[in-house]
C-alpha cells in the first residue's frame, strides 16, 4: 500500500518522480520545515499529482508541512466545472486536507479570460496568505509550462530577463513540479489511479499560450525531441547567472543612482514611489549593457520586480537619458512615466490631468484661481518694474478683462524684445521649470493672446512704453502663514 495514503503501491516511475521532486525541493529550499502550504488545485492532472507528490515529499524530507488547498470554480464550463470541483473536494476529503472553494457568482467575459482567471485565483490565494492562514502558495506548474513561458516571453518581449521565466521559489510562491514534464505527471496519475479532469479549452489554439503548446513546441521537437527540457534548463541557467549579473548591476547602480529629496528611505519605499533618480552623466559613462540594466531596474522600481521591461521601452529610456532637452518624459505604462529633469532621470506615477475652470479678473478687483488669489490694478499712463513675479501690461483702454487659466497645448507667447512667438513649453524648458509644475502654471490672457505667464515672462504685444495710455498691474497676493 502507498505509505502516503490509500491506493496502490508506487511503481518505479512513481518512486522516481517523487525522488526527483524531493531532490529538487531540497536543493532549492522550495518548501521549508513547518510551513503552512496552500496548494492551488484545479482538478487537472498536474494539480492532482501535486497533491499526492507534495505529501510524499513532505514525508520523505520530514518537513512537517501543514497542507491546505484552494480551488476556484469559474463557472465557465457547466458540468465540467462541477466535475473538476468535485474531484478536488473528494480528494481533499479523503486525505483530510482542508479545502477552500471560491465559486464565482457569474461567468467572466471571454475576452482576456485567461489573464482575468489567473488574477482571480492568485488574489484569492494572496488573501489567505495575508490573513495569516498560509505561509506559501504552491502551484502545479511543470517543465512544459516553463518551456512555453520561455518561448512566449522571448517572442513577445526582447528583455533578457524573459529567459528566466518562472522561478522555483519566489517569495511566498513555490513551484516544486518544474522538474517534471506534463506527460510524466499524467503517467504518475495513471499509475496511482488518481482521478483528474480534463479542460477541453486547453486543446484549442484560441489562447496564445495554447498556440505555443500545440503548434510551436511540436515543430521544435522535430529538431530536438527534448526541447521542453532544454528550454527549462536554459531558464534554470539564466536564473543562476542572474545572481552573478546582479552583483555587477548593484555596483553600477551605486555609481549612478542618487537619492530623491524628500523620498522615503530604502527601507520604506514601495513600488511606484522609488526613492532614487539616475544621474544621466554618470549613467552615460557606463557600458551600454550596464546602462540598459540600470534603466530596467529603475523602471521595475515603479512597475514591480516581475515586470518585463522590453527592448522598445529600454531604448526609449536610453534616448531620454542621452537627450539634450532639459525636461522630457516617456510613458512606462501601468500609470507611470519616466521623467528627465535636466541631469536626473526618475520614475513616478503619471499625474492626472490638472484642470481648473478659467477665472475672469477685472481691473480693480481680485479673484481666486487654482487656490491662489490674484489682483489687478489699473494705472493711468506708463508704469513698470522689472519682476517676473508680476505683470505690467500696456493697454489702450481701461475696460480690459483678464482671463486666468492654465497652459494649453500649443500656447505661444512673444517675449519682450523678440519678433516671433515662442511655445510656452520651450519657455518652461529654458527657465528649468520642473515638468510636474508646468500644468499648474498660470496664464493671463488678453484679447485672445497670452499676455503673461506666472512663473515666466510678459508679452512683447503688451510692452509698456512712454506712450502707454494705461498699465495693467497683475500680481499674486501673498498668503499669511498659519
pLDDT at 238: 87
Q: Where are the domains of the chain?
A: 12-236, 260-349, 359-476
Answer whether 378's CB lies under 8 Å from 394's CB.
no
Distance between CA atoms of residues 159 and 151, nearest Å: 12
d(Cα 447, Cα 357) in Å, to the nearest integer? Answer: 18
The helix or strand, by DSSP H or E, that contains position 293, with its residue range, turns out to be helix 288-303
Q: Grid coordinates representing 75?
A: 463557472
Would the pLDDT of 369 be above 60? yes
- Which CATH superfamily groups domain 359-476? Phenylalanyl-trna Synthetase, Chain B, domain 3 (3.50.40.10)
Give the burial class of 438: count Cβ atoms within 10 A of its Cβ; 0-12 exposed, 13-18 middle, 19 or more buried.
middle
* Res 265: pLDDT: 46
Least confident of 152-156, 178-182, 325-329: 325-329
Per-residue confidence at 327, pLDDT binned at 50, 70, 90? low
Sequence-separated (6 or more) residues with CB below 8 Å from residue 357: none
Residue 326: pLDDT band with limits 50, 70, 90 = low
User: What is the average pLDDT across 195-216?
Assistant: 78
- What mean pLDDT is predicted for residues 325-330? 72
How many CB atoms neighbour CB 256 within 10 A?
25
Phi, psi for 438 (deg, rounded to 5): -60, -40
pLDDT confidence bin for 482, thresholds 50/70/90: very low
Q: Judge residue 427's burial from the number of C-beta atoms within 10 Å of its C-beta, 0-12 exposed, 13-18 middle, 19 or more buried.
A: buried
All three cell numbers of 101, joined, read 472553494
Q: What is the rounded CA–CA span in Å between residue 209 and residue 191?
A: 29
In this prediction, residue 210 carries a pLDDT of 80
CATH number of the 12-236 domain: 3.40.50.620
Per-residue pLDDT tens for 128-145? 999 999 999 999 999 999
The band of 21, judged by pLDDT with boundaries at 50, 70 and 90, is very high
Query: How far is the CA of 31 from the CAs of 178, 219, 303, 396, 440, in angstroms?
Result: 13, 35, 28, 82, 53
Residues 428, 418: contact at Cβ < 8 Å? no
Q: Which residue has the higher pLDDT, 45 or 371?
A: 45
Report CA 200 to chain centroid distance, whole Å: 32
Which one of 2.60.40, 3.30.465, 1.10.3470, 2.30.30 gives the CATH number of domain 260-349?
3.30.465
* Residue 86 falls in which region: left (phi positive, over 0), alpha (psi -120 to 50) or beta: alpha
Q: How high is the pLDDT of residue 2?
A: 53
Amino acid at each position: 500500500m502507498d505509505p502516503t495514503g490509500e491506493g496502490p503501491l508506487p511503481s518505479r516511475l512513481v518512486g522516481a518522480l517523487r525522488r526527483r521532486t524531493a531532490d529538487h525541493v531540497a536543493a532549492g529550499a522550495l518548501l521549508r520545515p513547518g510551513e503552512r502550504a496552500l496548494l492551488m488545485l484545479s482538478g487537472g492532472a498536474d494539480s492532482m499529482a501535486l497533491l499526492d507528490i507534495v505529501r510524499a515529499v513532505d514525508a520523505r524530507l520530514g518537513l512537517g508541512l501543514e497542507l491546505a488547498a484552494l480551488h476556484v470554480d469559474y463557472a465557465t464550463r457547466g458540468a465540467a466545472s462541477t466535475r473538476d470541483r468535485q474531484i478536488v473536494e473528494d480528494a481533499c476529503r479523503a486525505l483530510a486536507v482542508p479545502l477552500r472553494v471560491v465559486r464565482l457568482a457569474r461567468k467572466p467575459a471571454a475576452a482576456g479570460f485567461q489573464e482575468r482567471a489567473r488574477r482571480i485565483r492568485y488574489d484569492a490565494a494572496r488573501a489567505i496568505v495575508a490573513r495569516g492562514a498560509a505561509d506559501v502558495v504552491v502551484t502545479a506548474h511543470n517543465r512544459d509550462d516553463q518551456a512555453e513561458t520561455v518561448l512566449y516571453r522571448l517572442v513577445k518581449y526582447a528583455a533578457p530577463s524573459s529567459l528566466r521565466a518562472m522561478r522555483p521559489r519566489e517569495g511566498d510562491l513555490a513551484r516544486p513540479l518544474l522538474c517534471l514534464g506534463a506527460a510524466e505527471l499524467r503517467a504518475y496519475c495513471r499509475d496511482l489511479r488518481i482521478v483528474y479532469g480534463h479542460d477541453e479549452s486547453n486543446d484549442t489554439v484560441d489562447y496564445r499560450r495554447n498556440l505555443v503548446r500545440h503548434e510551436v513546441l511540436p515543430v521544435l521537437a522535430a529538431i530536438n525531441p527534448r526541447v521542453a527540457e532544454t528550454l527549462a534548463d536554459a531558464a534554470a541557467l539564466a536564473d543562476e547567472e542572474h545572481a552573478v549579473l546582479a552583483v555587477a548591476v548593484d555596483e553600477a547602480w551605486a555609481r549612478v543612482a542618487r537619492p530623491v529629496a524628500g523620498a522615503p528611505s530604502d527601507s520604506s519605499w514601495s513600488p511606484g514611489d522609488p526613492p532614487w533618480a539616475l544621474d544621466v552623466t554618470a549613467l552615460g559613462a557606463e557600458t551600454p549593457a550596464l546602462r540598459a540594466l540600470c534603466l530596467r531596474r529603475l523602471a521595475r522600481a515603479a512597475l514591480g520586480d516581475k515586470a518585463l521591461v522590453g527592448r522598445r521601452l529600454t531604448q526609449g529610456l536610453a534616448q531620454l537619458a542621452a537627450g539634450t532637452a532639459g525636461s522630457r518624459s516617456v510613458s512606462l505604462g501601468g500609470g507611470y512615466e519616466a521623467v528627465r529633469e535636466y541631469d536626473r532621470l526618475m520614475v513616478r506615477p503619471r499625474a492626472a490631468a490638472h484642470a481648473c475652470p478659467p477665472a475672469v479678473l477685472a481691473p480693480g478687483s481680485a479673484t481666486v484661481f487654482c487656490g491662489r488669489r490674484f489682483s489687478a490694478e489699473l494705472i493711468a499712463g506708463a508704469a513698470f518694474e522689472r519682476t517676473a513675479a508680476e505683470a505690467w501690461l500696456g493697454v489702450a483702454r481701461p475696460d480690459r478683462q483678464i482671463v486666468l487659466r492654465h497652459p494649453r497645448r500649443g500656447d505661444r507667447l512673444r517675449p519682450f524684445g523678440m519678433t516671433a512667438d515662442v511655445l510656452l513649453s520651450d519657455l518652461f524648458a529654458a527657465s528649468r521649470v520642473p515638468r510636474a509644475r508646468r500644468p499648474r502654471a498660470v496664464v493671463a490672457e488678453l484679447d485672445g493672446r497670452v499676455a503673461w505667464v506666472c512663473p515666466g515672462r510678459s508679452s512683447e504685444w503688451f510692452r509698456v512704453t512712454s506712450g502707454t495710455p494705461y498699465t495693467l498691474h497683475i500680481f499674486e497676493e501673498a498668503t499669511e502663514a498659519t
